[in-house]
Amino acid sequence: MSQSEAIHAHHLLCDEIHQCVLDENRFLRQQQRAPDAAFLERKRTLLTRLDTTLATLRTLPAASARDPATRDELEKTRARILQILQLDKENEQLLLRCSLSSHRPSAATPAPAASVTMLQKIYARCS
């Protein structure tokens, strides 16, 4: 695989990862719950592919990044990675919010009537 092919393949994979993270974001906003196992498997598959493309990129000589076309492709890829990181951070926050809201009681437990009456008497005495 040539240098430009490796960089292009990595950029295409970053685009796929970006789409996956966008899908996750949309799901978390609409469903307000954690994604299912199939979605998590999709992410694991993309991660495995990412490891492969990164290993390929590490074999390329660093001096070859001086070519203007290569630099342009690398800058596009860096920008995409920054978008992925930002969305992933937002997804983590949404996931945390979803997990916290699922553990909250749905309604506050009403106080017994005797307690309310007792509190009313105490407030009446103090005022």
pTM score, two decimals? 0.74
> Is residue 8 one of the residues assigned to a domain?
yes
pLDDT of 45 reads 96
Least confident range from 7-21, 30-44, 77-91, 108-122: namely 108-122
Q: Is residue 72 part of a domain?
A: yes
Asked, for residue 110, whether it belongs to a domain, the answer is no
User: The tokens of 16 are what?
Assistant: 């796929």
Domain span at residue 58 reads 3-105
Q: In this structure, are residues 90 and 25 in contact, taking their beta carbons and an 8 Å threshold?
A: yes
pLDDT value at position 65? Answer: 66
pLDDT confidence of residue 4:
85
For residue 40, tell me if it sits in a domain: yes
**What is the 8-class DSSP label of residue 62?**
G
Residue 46 pLDDT exceeds 60:
yes
Nearest to 81 by CA among 5, 4, 13, 29: 13
Q: Total structural domains in the chain?
A: 1
Answer yes or no: is pLDDT of 3 > 80. yes
